[in-house]
Structure formats: structure tokens, C-alpha cells
Amino acid sequence: MEISKTSEISVTTKHDYDRASELKAFDETKDGVKGLVDASVTSIPRMFHHKFDKDSSSTSTNITKLVVPSVDLVDIHQDPTRRKIVVEKIREASEKWGFFQIVNHGIEESVLDEMKNGVIRFFEQDSDVKRELYSREPLRPFVYNSNFDLYNSPAANWRDTFYCIMAPNSPKPEDLPSVC
């Protein structure tokens, strides 16, 4: 895949595929996956193709329903025994799953809704504005890119991401996009 602008994509055949060049071309646009969508691509570039293992047990039709671990923070500050239980649940979920849902965290729903709206506003901005914030430098106060592991994973994921490191030092408000 060659990309000079997100709307100009040429697809290669299986025999002349150069993944490194495709990744570099995609990354250098700084438009991310949203840029591909906005350009109305008609086929998914090969860098996003994941190998299907037909022998994998995960393709079985007998997969049990998985439930994301949930950690309830109710009374965590009042009861030391409860705190130990919560810490253990977080440890277990982190080790076995790598993620978990927190409930009863005390954050108002209106704050959560505004956070989601800020994310939507960020990704709906004009590409020129987002390109200024695109970076692969993980220690910047605010990082926006497509696939933090783009050059290391066997296949890219169909996602764009932004994050900011909140601890031990929170970013200054001027380090964050105003739409957020």
C-alpha cells in the first residue's frame, strides 16, 4: 500500500507485498484509521489482516460466554478488609485478563459522559488539527496515534488511540487538546 494522501491508496499483490513500507506510509499520513474511513477505502489494507488459525481452539463453536471481571470499590476507604479484597481482585484480573471494569468508583455519570463526548470531539476534528498531535513519543503529555504497537505487532488493529499519563504528574491543561 502506498499512501501519499489518505485518499490515494494503491494496493499491492501478494507477491510484491512490503509490510514495512505499508506501515511507514500509513503512519506518515498521521491520519490513522479514521483517515482511511474518511477516504472511503473500499478494502481493508493488508497490514490490518490477521491470520486465521483454523485449528485454533478459540474458533470452536463451544466457546463459553466470557464475562469481563468487575471490581466493586464500594466501602474501600472505610473497611481495611474490603480494601484487601479489592486489591486482590484487581491483581487477579490484571494477571489473568489484562483489564477489568470498575464499578462504584464515585465518578459522576455527567463527568463520564463529558469525557466520552470529549473523545468523540477529538476524533471528529479536522485531520490537520489531529496531525499536529500525532506522535510515537510515549512520554509526551498527550499522545495520539494509530496502534501504539504498529511496528511490532503481527497485524495492526483497526483503531486510533490517544492517551495522557496522569500520574505521578498530571499534564497541564495547555498540554491537552481544547476539545477534550
Task: Clarify whether residues 45 and 75 are in a common domain.
Answer: no
| Average of per-residue pLDDT values in the chain | 89
Task: Clarify whether residues 14 and 94 are in a common domain.
Answer: no
Task: Clarify whether residues 8 and 52 are in a common domain.
Answer: yes
Task: Clarify whether residues 132 and 55 are in a common domain.
Answer: yes
Q: How many domains does the chain have?
A: 2
Task: Clarify whether residues 111 and 101 are in a common domain.
Answer: no
89 in any annotated domain: yes
180 in any annotated domain: no
Task: Clarify whether residues 143 and 94 are in a common domain.
Answer: no
Task: Clarify whether residues 53 and 76 are in a common domain.
Answer: no
Rounded-to-integer distance, Cα 142 and Cα 177, Å: 8
- Residue 164's alpha-carbon distances to 65, 149, 172, 174, in angstroms, are 33, 16, 11, 13
Question: Quick one: pLDDT at residue 65?
Answer: 85
| Range of lowest pLDDT (1-5, 25-29, 132-136) | 1-5
Task: Clarify whether residues 18 and 56 are in a common domain.
Answer: yes
Share of the chain above pLDDT 70, in %: 86
Task: Clarify whether residues 111 and 166 are in a common domain.
Answer: yes
Closest CA to 34 of 119, 123, 129, 120: 123
Question: Quick one: pLDDT at residue 56?
Answer: 61
Question: Quick one: pLDDT at residue 64?
Answer: 77
94 in any annotated domain: yes
Task: Clarify whether residues 129 and 170 are in a common domain.
Answer: yes
Cell of 66: 466470557
Question: Quick one: pLDDT at residue 39?
Answer: 95
pLDDT at 15 over 80: no
The tens digit of pLDDT for each residue in 157-173 reads: 999 999 998 989 899 99
Domain final residue pick, 56, 87, 106: 106
159 in any annotated domain: yes
Which residue segment(s) compose the domain that 123 sits in?
2-66+107-175
Overall average pLDDT of the 132-138 stretch: 94
The tens digit of pLDDT for each residue in 54-110 reads: 666 555 566 678 899 999 999 999 999 999 999 999 999 999 999 999 999 999 999
The tens digit of pLDDT for each residue in 147-161 reads: 999 999 999 999 999
121 in any annotated domain: yes
pTM greater than 0.85: no
